[in-house]
Amino acid sequence: MNTKPFTSGLSKNAVTITRVADRQWHALDDDLVVGRGYAQHRPDGRLFVSIDTWHDAPFDQLAQAMLAELPAPLCTVVDEADVELTARWQRAGFTIRRREWEYEVPTDPRVTGLGAVLPPAGVTIVPAGQADESLLRAVDRAIRDEVEAGVGWQSMPVEVIPRTEGDTIVDPSMYTVAATPDRYLGLIRVVRVKRPRIGLVAVQSGKQRRGIARALLAHALGTLHRSGCAAAWAEVDESNQAASALFEGIGARPMNSNLELVR
The pLDDT score that the predictor gives to residue 5 is 46
Average pLDDT over residues 82-88: 97
> Which sign does the torsion angle of CA 15, 20, 26, 30 carry?
negative
* Digit-coded pLDDT (tens) for 203-242: 999 898 899 999 999 999 999 999 999 999 999 999 888 8
Average pLDDT over residues 142-159: 67
Given a cut of 60, is residue 163 above it in pLDDT?
A: no
Supply the pTM of this predicted model. 0.77
Q: How confident is the model at residue 152 (pLDDT cuts 50, 70, 90)?
A: low
The pLDDT score that the predictor gives to residue 166 is 56
Task: Quote the strand ranges of 163-230, DSSP E.
Answer: 175-179, 184-193, 195-203
Given a cut of 60, is residue 153 above it in pLDDT?
A: no
> Which sign does the torsion angle of CA 77, 186, 254, 241 carry?
positive
Rounded distance, CA 119 to CA 127, Å?
13
In this structure, are residues 86 and 25 in contact, taking their beta carbons and an 8 Å threshold?
no
What does each C-alpha distance from 3 to 27, 40, 62, 142, 216 come to in angstroms?
Answer: 10, 21, 11, 46, 52
The pLDDT score that the predictor gives to residue 159 is 45
SS3 50: strand
Q: How confident is the model at residue 147 (pLDDT cuts 50, 70, 90)?
A: confident
In this structure, are residues 261 and 86 in contact, taking their beta carbons and an 8 Å threshold?
yes
Average pLDDT over residues 123-133: 96
Given a cut of 80, is residue 178 above it in pLDDT?
A: yes
Q: What percent of the chain is predicted at pLDDT more than 90?
A: 72
Which one-letter amino acid corresponds to residue 254? P
Given a cut of 80, is residue 49 above it in pLDDT?
A: yes
Question: If 0-12 CB within 10 Å is exposed, 13-18 middle and 19+ buried, where does residue 72 land?
Answer: exposed
The pLDDT score that the predictor gives to residue 11 is 54
Structural domains for the chain = 2-71 (no CATH), 101-258 (3.40.630.30)
* Digit-coded pLDDT (tens) for 26-38: 999 888 999 999 9
The pLDDT score that the predictor gives to residue 261 is 97
**Higher-confidence residue: 203 or 153?**
203
In this structure, are residues 257 and 241 in contact, taking their beta carbons and an 8 Å threshold?
no
